[in-house]
Structure 1
Amino acid sequence: MLTDIVVVGASVAGVEAVLALRGAGYDGRLTLIGADHELPYNPTPLSKELLTGEMAEDDIRLLPAEEFEDLDVDLRLGTAARALDPAERKVDIGGSDVPYDGLVIATGSRAVRPRGWFGLDGVHTLRALDDARRVRAAMAQGRPSVVVVGAGFIGCEIAAAARHFGLDVTLVEAAASPLLRAVPSELAAPVVRLQRANGVRVVCGVGVARLLGSLRVDKVELTDGTVLDADLVVVGVGAVPATGWLDGSGLSVDDGVITDATLQTTAPGVYAVGDAARWPHPTTGDSLRVEHWTNAREQGRQAALNLLDPQAAQPYTGVPYVWSDQFGERFQLAGTAHAKHLHFLDGGPAEESYLALLGDGEAVVGAVGFNGSPRQFNRARRLITQGTPWAEAIAQHQ
C-alpha cells in the first residue's frame, strides 16, 4: 500500500499524474515538486495565443492554487530536484530530502542553447512562461527586426506571432526544409507557402555562423555570408530532456529516462512520463521520446494508474499527436510521417489543403493534415490506433 507519492515536475504530465492519483482514490501524502516558481501552466499557447495576446496568463494555468489545496497536494514550487537515491527512496531538493514509496518523474525538457549565442541582450529561447513574457515584450517594443533560428513547429509559430505585430521576420533553418524532423519536405510545402504569403522571409539550407553586436544583438551572419538585421533573435533549435539531476542515480538514461512499455523505469516504484521519458511503443517496438502536450497528458495518467496497481499495469499505447496553428491555419501530425508509403486521401501538398496517410507496407503508421476537416483527420488517427492494414485502409478510400 503506497502512502507517500512524489511527482517531480509541475508540468502537464506531472499535474495530470496528480489528478489521476487522486481520481483513482489514492488518499496518502502527495507531493508535487516544480523547479519553476510559476503555478503550473500549459506551455502549448506560449508560442501562439499567449505571445500574440489572444490569451492571458490566467487562461493557461492548469489548475488554480485553491484546487491544489482541495486535492491536498504539498505543492513545492521554485524547488529543483538535485538528485535521486532509489535505494533509499528519496529525492534531494537541496538541503533536504523528500522520501517516497512511489515516484513519477515528469521534469520535461529544456531548450537547446547554442554556446556563445546568449552573451548579447535580445537573444532568447521560448520554452517557459518567463521566456514568452520577454519575447512578447521585445516584439511589442518599437518595430524590431526579428530573426527566428530553427523552423520546427515552435519556430514557425513564433514567426507567425511576430507577423501578428507587423514585424520584419526572417525564419532561418539549417535543414533543407522547415519541419523536416517531423515530416518530409513535400508535406511541409504548404507551411512554407503560408509563411511566405504572410510576409515571412524563409531561408533554408543555411546555418547561423555568428551573432553580431556589442552589448545587444544587431545582426545575424549566416554560413553563406548573408548578414541579416536583427534586433530580436529567438532560437528554437530543439530541446533535450531535463534529466541531469538523475546523474549517479543508477537509472538508465539515454536521451530520456528509459522505461518499459508501462512507463516504469529501471528502479522499482519509479515511473517517467512526458518529454523526459523514452519508452518502447508496444505496437511498433520503436524507442520513442515525444515532446507534445497530448502525449504528456496521457502518459501522466497512465503512469499514475500503473504506479497504484503494478499487478494490473497496462502498456502505454498512445499515438504521438501534435498540431500547429499558424496564420489561422492548422497543421496536424499523428504517428510518424517518415514511412515507406504515402497516400493522399484528400487534396495534395500543391493545393490549399490535404490529408495524407502514411504506412510501412503492413499498417497505417501516420497521418498528416493541413487546413482540412478535423473530423476526417480524427478518422485517420483511429486507423493508426487500430493498426489498420495499409492495403485495407487504401481500399476503403479509393
Structure 2
Amino acid sequence: MNTTTLHLLTASLLLLLSCATHVFSVTPCPPCGNTTVPFPLSTTPTCGDPLYKIQCTASGSLVFNTVNNSYPIQSINPKTQRFIIQPASIIPKTCTTTDKIHQGIILNNTLPFNITSSNTIVYLNCTRTLLLSPLNCSAASACHAYINATDSISACQTGPVCCTYRTGGSSNSYQIRVRDSGCSAYSSFVNLDTGLSVNRWSRPGLEIQWLSPRETVCVSQKDCDSATSTCGVDDSSVNGIKRCFCNGELVWDPIQGVCTKKITCFNPDGCDSSNKTAIIAGTTCGVGAALILATVAFLLYKRNKRILEAQQRLAKEREGILNASGGGKAAKLFTGKEIKKATNDFSADRLLGVGGYGEVYKGVLSDGTNVLSL
C-alpha cells in the first residue's frame, strides 16, 4: 500500500467517524509511562491486536522489535497510523552503527508494519560497489554535508563512498541494510529537506506505518460482544480463523477498533452543524427569493400605473379637443367595452355599411341614444 493510498484511506475513515457513535470496543492497552498506546498497537496479549505487538519496558518507554533487534519509539501518530523509531547510533571513533551485527533494520514482512516513503537515508562508509547502484553517491549527495557538519561521526570522513536515498518501494520497505559488502553505518531523517543546512535538520528517526487491522480474532461467541458482533469464520483466511464480525448495520472501524453505526453524515464539523447549515442556507435562499419577487412585483405595479395614467391623460385631451369643436355640445369618449355593448357585440344586424374607414355599425346607448360606430 503506497503512502498516497494510505493517506486517502486514513482521511476517509476519520471523516466517517466524525459523527459516529461507538458501540463496542476491544480492550485498550494501558499507557506505557506517560505515553498513550493507541489501538491496534498491543503491549500485552490481552489488549489491542496481538499482530501489532510493541514492547513497554520497565522504565515506561515503548520499543519496537524487528527481526533480531529493538529500537526505541520516539512518537506515535494514531491518525496517520505511523510511529517514529530511533535509529541505531554510530560507535564512537568508528563509522559503524551498533546494529551492524544484525545487518541493520530488518522488519518481519509477514507483520502489518513497513517503512514509509518519508525517510531519507544517509549511508556512510560504503564500498565502491555502491557507485553502480541507483543511490545518489555523487559529490553533491547530502551525506557529504552531514559528515562534514557532524563532529561525532568525523571517522566517516575517511570512508571511500557515502550515499543518500529516499525509502519506499518493494525492495526497501522492510529493511535498511548495513553490512561489510555495502555500507557499515547509516542515519535516517523523516521528511528531510536536503536544501536546509545540517544544523536545521530534525533529529534522526525512521518512520514506520501500520496497516489497518481486521476484526478481532475469536475462538467462540464468548470472545465477542453478542449485542454488537458475532464470532464467525473469516472466509479470506486459509487457516479457518474466526473473527468478531459486526452485527446488522454496524460496521468495523479499524482506527478505533470498534463496531460502529453506519454514518450518513459526511460533514467533518459534525452532523448538527450540517443540519444547521442546511437550515441557514434554506432560510437565506427563501428570504432572497421573496425579496426578488417583491422587487419585481413593485416594478410591474409602477409600470402599469404609469401606463394607466398616460391613457387617462390622453382620453381627457381627446375629449377636450372634441368639446372645442362640437359647437357647444358635450363630447364623450367611449371605451371598447361600452362600444361592444352598444353594438350588441358588433352584431351583423347592426351593420349599416362599409366605407373607406371600415365598417359602420349602429349603436344604442344605455339611455336609448342612437350612435354610429366605426
Q: Same fold (TM over 0.5)?
A: no
TM-score relative to the length of structure 2? 0.24
TM-score relative to the length of structure 1? 0.23
